[in-house]
Structure 1
């Protein structure tokens, strides 16, 4: 089963909170597309709680949702215990370096996520460094998109070395 924003219109973060309650007990939905629905940090908090218990969702698109560091922190808590999500799009948000740090902590624990898109999130060198550390232990991530994140050449080399040593990331 797949739900897209073309089928469901959310009213900002309140809609995400309501949807999160349904996701906690849903046993059929595998793909949820919430791109450009103004989820924000409050909506991310609700979705995080749903990720902790949902056992069917494999693809989640939260691109273009004004999710900042606090929202990324909340979502990372959900990712730590989620065992079904394989593809996650967080592109075009504002997670910044603190959000990338939180997500890297989740990546050290999570063993199912294979694709993560963090493009256009202003993670900078500190966020890239944190993700480099996560790649040292994560063995399931195969695709990591960090396009347009203001990462310096030197930090890109550090990240490149981590990817080189991790044989699963492309």
Structure 2
């Protein structure tokens, strides 16, 4: 019989489940709870093996959650499909989320284009920091994100720091 241990760090406003293999089912259950409850400001789910389907659950939660301002989804194998799910949630007014970390997720240009379009589509987007480092972006994906950053600044004078 194999035992798994879950490492949980919870402060008043931060929930850190990083490095725990909660997977798609775990993040789906967590997302349902955080959709309408809690006062979590920082949610860390790096290295949790959530995949693209897990990103869909997180994206759905972000449509309703009004408290999470920092979201860490590093190294979850989100790929383009997961990035596209998260991009769709940006199109809904979310005044809380300011920092999103998607580093090490095997995201390519298609995912970058989806995120860029979402940033352009929502003039009220609150995101000011977007980390896409250590993904598989070419100059085309980087250019799309840079154009989106410039568009957001022109429309709202809001700085969006994008790292790749």
Q: What TM-score do the two structures reach when normalised by structure 1?
A: 0.82
Separation in structure 1 between the aligned mates of residue 22 and residue 113 of structure 2, nearest angstrom = 27
Matched ranges for 1:62-73 at <5 A: 62-73=45-56
TM-score calculated relative to the size of structure 2:
0.85
Structure 1 moving runs of 4+ over 6 Å: none
1:55-96 Cα shifts (integer Å, max 9, x gaps): 401000000111100000011101110001000000111011
1:161 to 124, 147, 152: 147
Kindly state the Cα deviation for residue 105 of structure 1 after the two structures are TM-superposed: 0.8
Kindly provide the CA deviation profile for residues 13-42 of structure 1, in whole angstroms up to 9, marking residues without a partner as x.
xxx9xxxxxxxxxxx831001110111111
Distance 1:50 1:119 in 2: 25
Unaligned stretches of 5+ in structure 2? Answer: none
* Residue 37 of structure 1: aligned partner: 20
In 2, the alpha carbon distance for the partners of 1:47 and 1:123 equals 24
Q: Larger % of helix: which?
A: 1
Query: Which residue matches 1:135?
Result: 119
Deviation of 1:119 after TM superposition, in Å, equals 0.4
User: What is the Cα-based RMSD across aligned positions, in Å?
Assistant: 1.8
Give the superposition deviation at 1:155. 1.8
8 Å contact from structure 1 (residues 55, 83) kept in 2:
no
Give the equivalent residue in structure 1 for 2:98.
114
Q: Secondary structure of 2:130's match?
A: strand
Does residue 144 in structure 1 map to residue 130 in structure 2?
yes
CA distance in 2, matches of 1:55, 1:38: 23
Match status 1:10 vs 2:28:
no
Superposition pairs of residues 16-35 of structure 1, within 5 angstroms: 29-35=12-18
Partner of 1:124: 108
CA distance in 2, matches of 1:58, 1:107: 17
